[in-house]
Amino acid sequence: MKRILIVIGLSVVLSAMLLTILLSMFSYYRYPQILPSEWTLHYWMYFLSVNDLMAEAVLNSIKIGVFTAVLSTTVGFMTGRVVVSHFKSNRNMMMIVYSLPLFVPATALFIGVHMMMIKFSLNNNFWGIVISHAIIAIPYSTNIAVSFYEGISIDMENVAKTLGCGPILLFKKILLPLLMPGILLSSAICFLLSFSEYFAAFLVGGGKLVTLSTLYYPYINNGDYGNSAVLSIVFVVVNLSVFAIAEYGTRKLTRISNYLFE
Amino acid sequence: MKLHIKNVKKNFSSFRVLNGVDIIVEKGSFHAVLGVSGSGKSTLLKIITGLESIEGGQILLDGKDVTHVPTETRGIAYVFQSPLLFPHLTVKENIRFGMEVKKYDKKTIEERVEELLKLLRIEDLGDRMPSEISGGQQQRVSIARALATEPSLILMDEPFSGLDPALRIEMGNLIKDLQRLLDLTIVFVTHDINESLRLSNYISLLDQGEILQSGLTHEVYYKPQNRKSASIMGDGNWIKGIIKANRFSSSFGDVSAIGFPTGEAEMFLRPHQVIIGESRAAFKVKISGISRLGKETQLTVAYGEEFMKIDTFSNENYQINQEISIMFTDSNCHIVPCG
Ligand SMILES: Nc1ncnc2c1ncn2[C@@H]1O[C@H](COP(=O)(O)OP(=O)(O)OP(=O)(O)O)[C@@H](O)[C@H]1O
Ligand SMILES: [Mg+2]
């Protein structure tokens, strides 16, 4: 039973991938056809060569993603520490508080955020987008941080203290290595959230700052399947690479492996 | 190192956990702190290392007030109930952790790690991760880790309570041997009476945040100051009587009581100090209860209105209502004046 489900799941995912790859390489392909008529590298060439805008968008998206990941993970792990060490009985309430941005519809949230950005002159600005993305990413990073901090017993830290560790050494030698899988996981997830986020990027970026997803949207909207497929593949490749890097980093830096897919 | 815990008071919010605790731990002693669950034993150890703050009192190490010295510079080792090995480090790396923090030179570290692995009989496990060794082995590693920097004082919080009984005794002996060999000063917290009797040479009884009695273990065990400290260390018999002219007399005759004031008093005997057997000084009592605990048998006997407990290793097949003769030696009798 389990095996059948896995096979079905895999074939759905793989056929979607295949379809996307086909769409990106052939000039004309519509559903009932088994194989498309003629193949072309037109869309890929378009993506790779001429297009300055495309390169800029990819670069912007990656830069925004990286800064969002660093900012949200830092804030999330600092918040998580406070939540775990200072809120024992009312931890659930705290979790609701810092998850509030997720309960509000993204549209409502980002229109509000956009207004704030205008107020602080952060609209049409790189950092404005990073901050907007961090607002939705921080609840995730905080949740990850909380569960990783919960895994470290306070007495483990106490042992380190009795062995001579002050706060800095304690962080460097015990907390950081034990949290590293969580930090990488959180960074990966925050990056992905930012990388594929459209609405805030569109609104706060104000069209002045293009990202991959703000380019992607019009292509799909206009039924430009070839170019959309190329961008989809770029998305998937970047996203998978980010997870692979996180997983590899975890293996490399710590000896506690396989946290992601276990 | 001599440790002086001086009138220590500790609250958790409005709840008073320690209410003026005084203990002196002599250098080179194995000092047990015995108390029931929730009596504040772990809290006391955390206070000694500085992991918990206090509302009053002082912690003195060799006469020096360290009450406000942070944990990391107090240099007091702490072995917790669970091993708490650092999961991202190998056994060897765990052991060397403290020495690296304190910047020992490489050669000393290597030598000491090897020495400790041998001392705690875990030579073959050095390169394993903590998840790859058994609970008993983990606890040994945690002891090695605590000993590595040659701390002048070691605190142990029921370090063997997660182990099976046989291993528990073996580990106890190992620690006792190490303590003698390396002349360690150990404060050992437990709620296991037998463990505290087996290992310690000094003991303090902690009850509801106060020290009931402190002293040499056998003294506290055989000469409790009152019923409460007697009962914390196990069963006992209190025999009522009267002191007159340096003699204590009860329904079991007279024993000498030189230096005690005249008046009502009680005599204390542990159940195994009562001897079953015939002699001119023996008294007849009737068995009213029997419970067999493997090689040991506990008898309850009636004399007059009162009852007495007796532990015996005899394999005789005692029966209820059987009459037996009992006696005890004068030197065993501990007399406590009433009031
Ligand atoms: N951080 C804390 N906050 C509030 N109360 C606490 C805290 N730690 C301990 N207590 C309370 O203080 C009392 C003493 O706790 P402690 O852990 O010192 O007992 P213990 O003698 O070590 O018990 P055990 O033998 O079960 O380990 C208990 O009533 C406990 O509930
Ligand atoms: Mg305890």
Contact B98 A163 (CB under 8 A): yes
Predicted local distance difference test score (pLDDT) of residue A262: 30
Tens digit of pLDDT for each residue in B108-125?
999 999 999 988 888 899
Higher pLDDT, B36 or A218: B36
pLDDT given for residue B49 in this prediction: 95
B215's enclosing H/E stretch is: strand B210-216
Determine the Cα–Cα distance for residues A233 and A228; give it in Å rounded to an integer. Answer: 9
A156 found inside a domain: yes
CB atoms within 10 A of CB B284: 10
- Would residue A32 count as lying in a domain? yes
Q: Distance between CA B322 and CA A120 in Å, rounded? A: 96
Three-state SS at B154: strand
Residues A174 and A209 in one domain: yes
- The mean pLDDT of B2-21, rounded to a whole number, is 92
Is A161's CB within 8 Å of B71's CB?
Answer: yes
Looking at the complex, report in whole angstroms how far the Cα of residue B104 sits from the nearest Cα belonging to chain A: 12
**Which one, of B25, B1, B20, lies nearest residue B9 by Cα?**
B20
Of A169, A131, A140, the residue nearest A77 (C-alpha): A140
Residue B64 confidence class, pLDDT cut points 50, 70, 90: very high
CB contact under 8 A, A256 and B145: no
Ligand 1 atom closest to the Cα of residue B81 is 27
Structural domain span for residue A27: 1-40
Check: complex ipTM more than 0.85: no
Residue A77 shares a structural domain with residue A191: yes
d(CA B274, CA B332): 9
A58 lies in the same domain as A133: yes
Angle between helices B165-182 and B135-147 (to 10 degrees): 20
Mean pLDDT of B226-242: 90
* Of residues B80, B98, B146, nearest to A155 (C-beta): B80
Residues of B within 8 A of A153 (CB-CB) are 84
* Domain match, A108 and A27 both: no
pLDDT tops 90 at residue B21: yes
- Of the two residues A88 and B44, the one the predictor is more confident about is B44
Residue B329 has a pLDDT of 80
Task: Choose one of B43, B55, B187 to mutate for the ligand 1 pocket test, by most ligand atoms within 8 angstroms of C-beta.
Answer: B43
Indicate the residue of B51, B73, B102 with minimum beta-carbon distance to A158: B51
- The residue to mutate among B11, B33, B41, having the most atoms of ligand 1 within 8 angstroms of its beta carbon, is B41
**What mean pLDDT do residues B208-231 have?**
92
3-state secondary structure of B178: helix
In a domain, A133, yes or no: yes
B72/A166 CB distance under 8 A: yes
Do residues A138 and A79 lie in contact, with contact meaning Cβ atoms separated by under 8 Å? yes
Look at residues A211, A224, A195, A58 and name the one whose alpha carbon lies nearest to residue A203. A211
Tell if the CB–CB gap between B78 and A156 is shorter than 8 Å. no
The answer on A80 and A8 residing in a single domain is no
| Residues with a beta carbon under 5 angstroms from ion ligand 2 | B 42
**A99 and A141 share one domain:** yes
Count CB atoms within 10 A of the CB of residue B194: 12
* pLDDT at residue A71, as a whole number: 97
- Is A30 domain-assigned? yes
| Cα Rg of chain B, angstroms | 24
Task: Show residues of chain A in contact with B84, CB under 8 Å.
Answer: 153, 155-156, 159
- The reported pLDDT for the residue numbered A261 is 35
A32-46, A90-104, B252-266: which has the minimum mean pLDDT? A32-46
Q: Which ligand 1 atom is nearest residue B15's CA?
A: 5
B233, two tokens: 């260390």
pLDDT at A109: 86
pLDDT at res. A28: 59
In a shared domain, residues A102 and A5: no
Mean pLDDT taken over chain A: 84
Q: With CB atoms and an 8 Å threshold, state whether A156 touches B77.
A: no
Q: What is the mean pLDDT of residues A152-171?
A: 93
- Contact residues, chain A, for B98 at CB < 8 Å: 163-164
DSSP letter at B233 equals: T
Instruction: Report, in this order, helix, strand and coil percent for chain B, each rounded to 5.
Output: 30, 35, 35
Nearest CA to ligand 1 atom 6: B12
Higher-pLDDT residue of A202, A24: A202
Task: Tell me if A45 is assigned to some domain.
Answer: no
Check pocket membership of B18 for ligand 1, CB cut-off 6 A: no
Nearest Cβ partner for A174 among B80, B86, B102: B86
| Cα–Cα distance measured from residue A24 to residue A234, given in angstroms and rounded to the nearest whole number | 11
Reported as a pLDDT band with limits 50, 70 and 90, residue A260 is very low
Given an 8 Å threshold on Cβ–Cβ distance, is B49 in contact with A162? Answer: yes
The answer to whether the CB atoms of B97 and A173 lie below 8 A apart is yes
B46 CB under 6 A from ligand 1? no
Q: What does the mean pLDDT of chain B come to?
A: 90
Task: Confirm whether A6 is domain-assigned.
Answer: yes
Q: Say which residue the tokens 């310690």 belong to.
A: B200
Look at residue A13 in the predicted model and tell me its pLDDT: 84
CA–CA gap between residue B56 and residue B66 (Å, rounded): 13
Selected residue with higher pLDDT from B50 and B246: B50
Q: What is the pLDDT of residue B247?
A: 87
* 3-class SS letters over chain A: CHHHHHHHHHHHHHHHHHHHHHHHHECCCCCCCCCCCCECCHHHHHHHCCCHHHHHHHHHHHHHHHHHHHHHHHHHHHHHHHHHHHCCCCHHHHHHHHHHHHHCCHHHHHHHHHHHHHHCCCCCCHHHHHHHHHHHHHHHHHHHHHHHHHCCCHHHHHHHHHCCCCHHHHHHHHHHHHHHHHHHHHHHHHHHHHHCCCHHHHHHHCCCCCCHHHHHHHHHHCCCHHHHHHHHHHHHHHHHHHHHHHHHHHHHHCCCCCCCCC
Closest-CA residue, ligand 1 atom 10, reads B12
CA pair distance A145, A137, nearest whole angstrom: 12
Residue B205 pLDDT: 95
Separation CA B25–CA B5 (nearest Å):
8
Segment among A112-126, A186-200, A216-230, B19-33 with least mean pLDDT? A216-230
Predicted local distance difference test score (pLDDT) of residue A27: 62
Those residues of chain A whose CB sits closer than 8 Å to some CB in chain B are 153, 155-156, 158-166, 169, 173-174, 177-178, 254-256
**Distance, C-alpha A74 to centroid of its chain:** 15
Please tell me what DSSP assigns to residue B167.
Answer: H
pLDDT category, B331, cuts 50, 70, 90?
Answer: confident
Find, in chain B, the residue whose alpha carbon is nearest to that of A180: B88
Which tens digit of pLDDT belongs to each residue from A186-224?
Answer: 999 999 999 988 888 888 888 788 888 888 887 778 777
Given the structure tokens 């007697």, which residue do they identify?
B230
Task: Count up the domains in chain A and report the number.
Answer: 2
Residue type, B134: S
Question: Between residues A47 and A96, which one has the greater pLDDT?
Answer: A96
CB of B209 shorter than 6 A to ligand 1: no
**Cα–Cα distance measured from residue A186 to residue A209, given in angstroms and rounded to the nearest whole number:** 26
**pLDDT greater at residue B289 or residue A55:** B289
Going by C-alpha positions, the residue among B14, B18, B48 that lies closest to residue B208 is: B18
At B339 the pLDDT is 67
Pocket test of ligand 1: the residue of B9, B11, B12 to mutate, having most ligand atoms within 8 Å of its CB, is: B12
Instruction: Identify which has the larger pLDDT, A52 or B104.
Output: B104
Measured distance CA(B84)–CA(B73) in Å, rounded: 21
Could you tell me if A94 and A122 lie in one domain?
yes
CA distance B297 to chain A (A): 42
Q: Is residue A137 part of a domain?
A: yes
Smallest-distance ligand from the CA of B40: 1
Q: Give the pLDDT score at A33.
A: 63
Using CB atoms within 10 Å of the CB of residue A15, give its burial: 0 to 12 exposed, 13 to 18 middle, 19+ buried. exposed
**CA-to-CA separations, A14 to A7, A11, A130, A241, in angstroms, rounded:** 10, 5, 33, 17
Can you tell me the distance from the alpha carbon of B174 to that of B140, in angstroms, rounded to the nearest whole number? 10
Evaluate whether residue A170 is within a structural domain: yes
Query: Closest Cα partner for A184 from A151, A149, A141, A137?
Result: A141
> Are the CB atoms for A95 and A144 separated by under 8 Å?
no
Long-range contacts of B223-228 (CB under 8 A, 24+ apart): B223/B268, B223/B334, B224/B268, B224/B334, B224/B336, B225/B336, B226/B336
Distance B80 CA to ligand 1 centre (A): 14
Are A104 and A226 within one domain?
yes
Interchain pair B149, A164: CB under 8 A: yes
Q: 3-class SS at B129?
A: coil
Distance CA B313, CA A258 (A): 57
A157 vs A165, A172, A215, B320, CA distance in Å?
A: 9, 12, 48, 57
Q: In B, which residues are within 8 Å of A162 by CB distance?
A: 49, 51, 71-72, 74, 76-78, 146
Using CB atoms, which residue from B78, B82, B88 is nearest to A162?
Answer: B78
Are A162 and A237 part of one and the same domain? yes
| A28 and A93 in a common domain | no
Q: What is the pLDDT of residue B186?
A: 95
Q: In this predicted structure, what is the pLDDT of residue A207?
A: 76
The tokens for A26 are 């052939």
Mean pLDDT of B11-19: 91
In contact, A117 and A204? CB cutoff 8 Å: yes
User: Which residues of B touch chain A, with CB atoms under 8 Å apart?
Assistant: 46, 49, 51, 70-78, 80, 82, 84, 86-88, 97-98, 101-102, 129, 142, 145-146, 149
Residues A123 and A230 in one domain: yes
Evaluate if residue A258 carries a pLDDT over 50.
Answer: no
* CATH number of the domain bearing residue A60: 1.10.3720.10
Highest mean pLDDT pick, A216-225, B142-151, B288-297, B301-310: B142-151
